[in-house]
Amino acid sequence: MAENQQNEKNTFTAEAIDPLDTEALLLAKMLFAENAQGGPEGWMADGSVAMNRFKSGKYGKTLSQVIKSMSSAIQTKSPQWQKVDKLELNDFEQRVFNKIKDVADGLVGGKIPDQVKGATHFENLNKYPLPYWAKDMSSVARKGQHTYFKAKQPVSTIHGEIVGGEE
């Protein structure tokens, strides 16, 4: 019996790593680096793009893969990315980041629905020209500084009437 008591004393419980929390944190960091000034509407919209890409299965097997491949801030190691990745934020930035983290948690947890009609891409067309990839896509939403795009839907006809395609 003393041996069992000793084994129980030596037993410890490790905190489980929640992959959803890890992915939500990465999403929050990406949203901060890409669009901290976008406010809740912009964060939900940009985050919806990441979730739409993940759900499509075409952009990566994990949400983390999707986020890392879609973010130019992460790929170029922008100053904003470096700052948020290390969580070296001043008080104001930390308050903004906490709000972004709430949005990311809602998106990853399924509490915030798609805000951009299935869009899988976005661009700031006020700052940059129309990207090469957008020529085969439809613009489906505009929120803040970003325009949101998704693949064009093929047009179908039944007895001469259009039943699919673009809205």
**What's the number of domains the chain is made of?**
1
* Tokens, residue 115: 């805000």
Q: Does residue 128 form part of some domain?
A: no
Which range marks the domain in which residue 90 is found? 19-117
Q: What is the pTM of this model?
A: 0.80
- The string of pLDDT tens digits covering residues 54-84 is 999 999 999 999 999 999 999 999 999 999 9
- The string of pLDDT tens digits covering residues 23-61 is 999 999 999 999 999 999 999 999 999 999 999 999 999
Q: Which of 20, 21, 80, 27 is CA-nearest to residue 53?
A: 27
Q: Does residue 80 form part of some domain?
A: yes
DSSP letter at 111?
A: -
High-pLDDT (> 90) share of the chain, % = 77
Residue 158: per-residue pLDDT: 63
Residues 78 and 84 sit within 8 Å (Cβ to Cβ): no
Residue 58 has a CB neighbour count (10 Å cut-off) of: 10
Residue 7: per-residue pLDDT: 47
Q: Does residue 143 form part of some domain?
A: no
Q: Does residue 142 form part of some domain?
A: no
Sign for the pseudo-dihedral over CA of 125, 127, 129, 131: negative
State how far the Cα of 140 lies from the Cα of 138, in Å rounded to an integer: 6
